[in-house]
Amino acid sequence: MNAASCLGAIVTPLFIPFFGLALGWRACFLLAGALGLAWCVVWYFVANRVSWRAPEAASEPAQALSWRAILADRTTWAIAGAKVLSDQAWWLLLFWGPDLLHRTTGLGIAELAFPLAFVYVAAAIGSLTGGALPALIAGKGSLVSARNRLLTISALVAATMPLALLFDSVWGMVLVLGIVLAAHQCFSVNLFATITDVVSPDRIGRVTAVAALCGNLGGMLLLWQTGRILSSGAGYLPVLLFSGAAYLLAPLWLRVLLRIGPTRAPERLIGAS
């Protein structure tokens, strides 16, 4: 499911640049917005035809759970903080990636199509393999411990994104960025899976929602600050360094808060490593 989000990022650079050249950027914005609204309509009618209630949940009364309890739980902020720190790389490249390639390699709008699509193909592969790797790494051991190690390895790989600026060739830079986003998606998949390890079933949905919201807000702030940094003439190096450093802090933040927080089973995640 996580890999599905990459499909739009793969298809978009293959078509939107050519629409932009033919119709103008304003028409591209209108087209993208119209497609989004059309999908909302399709989703509305499809969702209403599907029963979302789990069979075992139908016979059990739901327990009242307040948002105050969710927000007061340190586990929520362990996941949300890791999401904020790790999402910086994703949002930076999703929004500023075309400009980064244009400024550093001189590629035109139409020439950006295949390099950008390659980056997100790599991201999709990282997402798919990230879901399968914990079971392969664990063998007969702890799946939670394997997931914890994979989070750390993925963060270390994603933190190498400033190395992209060392390459003069387009495909050298694209290869680094593709590896970075593959590592990011691997981290993201296992971070969401970690929620099921450390959060009780009745809280999983709300904790995931808080984490996703915080990650998006952090990404918005980075995008705004990136524009200001670029306007000052500082270039992309400070932003890439910041995003890489933030990624290094993500597994550390997760490890520290889960260890000291009263979670359902933090020792399975931290102690097993």
Q: How confident is the model at residue 271 (pLDDT cuts 50, 70, 90)?
A: very low
Left if phi > 0, otherwise alpha if psi is -120 to 50, otherwise beta: which for 245? alpha
Cβ neighbours, 10 Å, residue 171: 13
pLDDT of residue 63: 58
pLDDT of residue 16: 82
Q: How confident is the model at residue 140 (pLDDT cuts 50, 70, 90)?
A: confident
pLDDT of residue 6: 77
pLDDT for 205-229, tens place per residue? 999 999 999 999 999 999 999 999 9
> Is-contact 122 179, C-beta < 8 A?
yes
C-alpha–C-alpha distance, residues 201 and 196, integer Å: 7
Q: Which domains does the chain have, with CATH numbers?
A: 4-48+68-270 (1.20.1250.20)
Cβ neighbours, 10 Å, residue 228: 9
pTM, two decimals, is: 0.84
> Is-contact 154 130, C-beta < 8 A?
yes
Please state, rounded to an integer, the average pLDDT across all residues of the chain.
86
Structure tokens at 9: 């990022």
pLDDT of residue 124: 93
How many alpha carbons lie under 13 Å from residue 241 in its C-beta half-sphere?
Answer: 7
How many alpha carbons lie under 13 Å from residue 157 in its C-beta half-sphere?
Answer: 21
CA proximity to 219, closest of 36, 79, 94: 94
Of residues 260 and 107, the one with the higher pLDDT is 107
